[in-house]
Structure 1
Amino acid sequence: MAAIARSGDRAAFAELFDHFAPRVKGLLMRGGAPAELAEEVAQETLLAVWRKAALFDPAKASASTWIAAIARNLRIDIARRETRSRLSQVYEILDEEAPEQPDETLSGAERDARVRAAMTHLSPDQYRVVELAFIEGFSHQDVADRLAIPLGTVKSRLRLALSHLRGRLEDLR
């Protein structure tokens, strides 16, 4: 792990991959994931290990524990995305059954404009976190990774931003 973090040692990563990929896949399959999904998550896990090797701290956990935690978090993210996808399909079906009324369309457009206007009052940091999490649909961990900030900072910025937006948009409830 140290060689990967220090110098991006590909041989060390290949050795780590050969050792941990089957173990991560087995762990996920024992947790109920189908073989194809387990293999995909195992690959994503080890890719995350390659990218985040410098964040590994042997004083906090063993490499296997750290890698298992990454795999678990990725599996949870995938499950959440699948749930959102299924919900959006349900909403699409419901929307097909009842044609949208012109006054509802206008109301939706007005509401969207009000939300966009309220977002302009956020700090640039808060705006970017809200944009990535809610508009682009990234998980909080993905936002933290993209912005290279701690996960707790992402959550704090979101909480403050949403509180600010609630205050500005109270009448839309």
Structure 2
Amino acid sequence: MGKRPPKPGPNPSDLIVAIARHEDKAAFAALFELYAGRIKAWLMSTGTSGERAEDLAQETMLTIWRKAASYDPARANASAWIFAIARNARIDRFRRDRRAEQLPDIYELIEPGEPDKPDDMLDAAEREQRVRLAITDLSEDQLSVVRLSFFEGRPHGEIADLLDLPLGTVKSRLRLAMKRLRTLLGDLS
């Protein structure tokens, strides 16, 4: 008696589509079973610690649940799309961690300094008014990425997801916006 070939597993693309169309929890559970361990193993192979890899794998799977509707099987296979999300999560976490290391100690922020002088306060108000006016000169596309990046502190990858834009477009818009603001505010110190 011969061995039967193994039964093929669920198609990951079909699972993502089911999640997108029906918020199918069973499809998500099957996708989680297929990919969570693989994502963690891949992250660990890049030098990520086990605990952080576990956390990033969870974050990746959550992003897949939220962004399933943006998956296009005609543009990428499921694995490539999933691992791109994992890679972006790893990069975003690295950037957040690096930014946190560069922030001053919280105690430095709450220690009282010298009171502001009236002239300094007036200068700051004038600078703020000039910046507000300059920002209104940006295109709506540039303004939306500037708001998300600088006012909300979102990483570029997240902005790309929120606005459904390629990451390069987000970076280009930010670069153009900053160039425009430098031109308008060049004499500001």
Same topology, TM > 0.5: yes
**Cα separation, partners in 2 of 1:106 and 1:75, compared to 1, 3 Å:** farther
Q: Does 1:132 align with 2:148?
A: yes
Q: Distance in 1 between matches of 2:141 and 2:85?
A: 26
Q: 1:107 to 1:35 in 2, by over 3 A?
A: farther
C-alpha RMSD over aligned residues = 2.8
Equivalent position of 2:128 in the other structure: 112
Q: Which amino acid is 2:176 matched to?
A: L
Q: CA deviation at 1:6?
A: 3.1
User: What one-letter code is carried by the residue in structure 2 that aligns with 1:20?
Assistant: Y
Instruction: Report the number of matched residues.
Output: 173
1:44 aligns with 2:59: yes
Rg comparison, structure with higher value:
2
Q: Shift in Å at residue 99 of structure 1?
A: 6.2
Structure 1: unaligned runs, 5 residues or longer: none
Shift of 1:24: 0.8
Give the superposition deviation at 1:73: 0.9
CA offsets per residue over residues 98-151 of structure 1, 9 Å max, x none? Answer: 968746666555433322221122233322221111121111221222233443
Match of 1:8 among 23, 28, 32: 23
Matched letter for residue 73 of structure 1: N
Identify the range of structure 1 (59-68 vs 33-42) with the bigger mean alpha-carbon deviation.
59-68
State whether structure 2 residue 175 is matched by structure 1 residue 156: no
Sequence identity of aligned pairs in percent?
54
Off by >6 Å, runs of 4+ in structure 1:
98-101
Q: Which has the higher helix share?
A: 1
Moved more, 84-93 or 120-129: 84-93
Deviations 1:57-88 (A, max 9, x none): 44444322221121111111011011111111
Structure 1 residue 92 displacement after superposition: 7.8
1:26-78 per-position Cα deviation (integer Å, ceiling 9, x unaligned): 11122222222111110110111122223334444432222112111111101
Q: What is the TM-score of this pair, normalised by structure 1?
A: 0.81
Q: Distance in 2 between matches of 1:5 and 1:13?
A: 10
